[in-house]
Amino acid sequence: LEFYGKLPGLSATPDPELRAEYTRIVEEGGTPEQLTQASIPDEENIAAGLRSLFPADKLDEILQETERIMPPAKLGFQFDPVRLHRAGVFWKQYQKAWQQARQALERPRCQFGIRLVEGDGADLSFIKVVWIVARLEMFYAAEQLHRKALAEAIDSLERLLRWCHCLGGEKHFEPRGQAAFLRSEALQVLEAIVRRPEIQRVHLEKLSLLLQAHLDQWPPDAYAWIGERALGMH
């Protein structure tokens, strides 16, 4: 896969128009090999803090369990007593992973290290890990809402939006798309917070600032298509 990621046929093509297009993409830094970034130091990388949180062969099973606990989409972020209990049990089971993920978010940058040079064979399992830690955050938020602890629930929402930002910042269509799905669930958490009868003006002001900051930091939409083009070239 990596051999083809270096585009041996395209770089050697005699077709002048194709060579010109290839040269332009190289100048933009958009080939699969160029988009396979050198890793950043672990101590600066949020993504590095997610390694080994869950057994690789158990990711699907754990993620599916979170799916079963989440309320149906038509109900929004409304947990009945049974679901709330199950969410609490799940959260306690993986509380250590939840804490480590939160600590990782204190790092300044996030790079998942997608090897676009491997094309569609690149490892994207980190998306499942992000979903799991995000669901842990949602279950924690549900418990805080039940306790009427709105400040803590808002804190969870902020972390959820940061995970969305991390996924959306990759130059690859799949994590970008998954960021959109995760953001839709985060906004259900937002709605649940805003609908609480005990909400105060200070909470609304913080939520407004939080959403504005998320929009201000929105990764360019072109990122997804730069990665998509590189996959097509591969």
pLDDT by residue (tens digit) across 138-149?
A: 999 999 999 999
What pLDDT does 66 receive? Answer: 98
Sign of the alpha-carbon torsion through 100, 164, 220, 192 = negative
What pLDDT does 154 receive? Answer: 98
Q: How far apart are CA 123 and CA 230, in angstroms?
A: 16
What pLDDT does 74 receive? Answer: 85
What pLDDT does 176 receive? Answer: 95
- Residue 7, sorted as left (phi over 0), alpha (psi -120 to 50) or beta, turns out to be left
In the numeric block, the tokens 């407004």 are attached to: 208
pLDDT by residue (tens digit) across 173-218?
A: 999 999 999 999 999 999 999 999 999 999 999 999 999 999 999 9
What pLDDT does 210 receive? Answer: 97
What pLDDT does 11 receive? Answer: 87
Q: Which residues of the chain have pLDDT under 70?
A: none
